[in-house]
Amino acid sequence: MTLRHIALFRWQDGVDDAQIAEVERLLGALPAAVPELRSYSFGRDAGVSEGAFDFAVVADVDDEAGFVAYRDHPDHQAALAVIRPLLADRAAIQYPLPG
Amino acid sequence: MTLRHIALFRWQDGVDDAQIAEVERLLGALPAAVPELRSYSFGRDAGVSEGAFDFAVVADVDDEAGFVAYRDHPDHQAALAVIRPLLADRAAIQYPLPG
């Protein structure tokens, strides 16, 4: 089984490129720090669709225990402490990947 | 380049298992019908986190043209015609996958 965690962010008005770059720097360090991460990607909206969220994070882990290890990892919590004050909206899900 | 499309759905109150199973049947036919889909998955929320959305769809395509081919494919449009009336909320993004 693989459990896929998805989080979509919508930034508050005024969040600038340097703040998003800092978020990317913090998230980019997580795969090396969190061994439970089997696959990890994040990125900015490509501007293809109107009304899209601004930023996506996708983390694939083995199971719920892997998700909790990622969620509660101090480096992830440190990233969230930077992200949370920037958020206007957030959408998330965890769903099992087939196969 | 890979462009990843993510759509998260929150169902209206009263949407039942048979209706979601019909959505899954329609979406499950898309990889065979839409050659632009490089990778495709969807699934119901695993119930791990409070406040999560109910259903996720993740489609990986080569580029914006691939996304548009998927978005506008008649079988996808037919699935959306079933999905839209069930929705209380939707969140989406398209972001470039590294590598």
Q: Rounded distance, CA B58 to CA A18, Å?
A: 28
**CA nearest to B52, candidates A33, A51, A71:** A71
Q: What is the pLDDT of residue B1?
A: 85
Under DSSP, the state recorded for B98 is: P
Name residues of chain A where pLDDT drops below 50: none
Q: Please give, rounded to a whole number of angstroms, the shortest distance from the CA of A44 to a CA of chain B.
A: 6
The label of the residue with tokens 């083995």 reads: A62
Each residue's pLDDT expressed in tens, for chain B with a length of 99 residues: 899 999 999 999 999 999 999 999 999 999 999 999 999 999 999 999 999 999 999 999 999 999 999 999 999 999 999 999 999 999 999 999 986
Q: What is the CA radius of gyration of chain B?
A: 14
β-strands B2-11, B55-61: how paired?
antiparallel
**CATH no. for residue A22?**
3.30.70.100
Q: What is the pLDDT of residue A99?
A: 66
Interchain CB contact of A46 with B (< 8 Å): yes
Q: Decide if B67 touches A, using CB distance below 8 A.
A: yes
User: Per the CB < 8 Å rule, is A64 touching B48?
Assistant: yes
Q: Mutation target for A interface from B54, B62, B95: give the one with most A CBs within 10 A.
A: B95
Please compute, for residue B47, the number of CA atoms within 13 A of its CA located in the half-sphere on the CB side.
0
Q: Which residues pair with B58 in a beta bridge?
A: B6, B41
ipTM: 0.97
Question: Does A51 contact chain B (CB < 8 Å)?
Answer: yes
Minimal C-alpha gap between B55 and chain A (Å): 7
Nearest residue on chain A to B3, alpha-carbon basis? A46
Helix (H, G, I), strand (E, B) or coil at B24: helix
Parent domain of A6: 2-97
**pLDDT of B88:** 98
> What tokens appear for B22 in the block?
């019909």
Helices (H), B13-90: 17-28, 30-33, 64-72, 74-83
Res B99: pLDDT: 66
B 7-36: CB under 8 A from A: 8
If you measure CA to CA, which chain A residue comes closest to B90? A91
Distance to chain A for B22, nearest Cα, Å: 18
Chain A: give the shortest CA distance to residue B38, in Å.
15
Q: Structural domain tally of chain A?
A: 1
DSSP B41: E
Tokens standing for residue B50: 């409070």
Chain B residue numbers touching A66 (CB-CB < 8 A): none
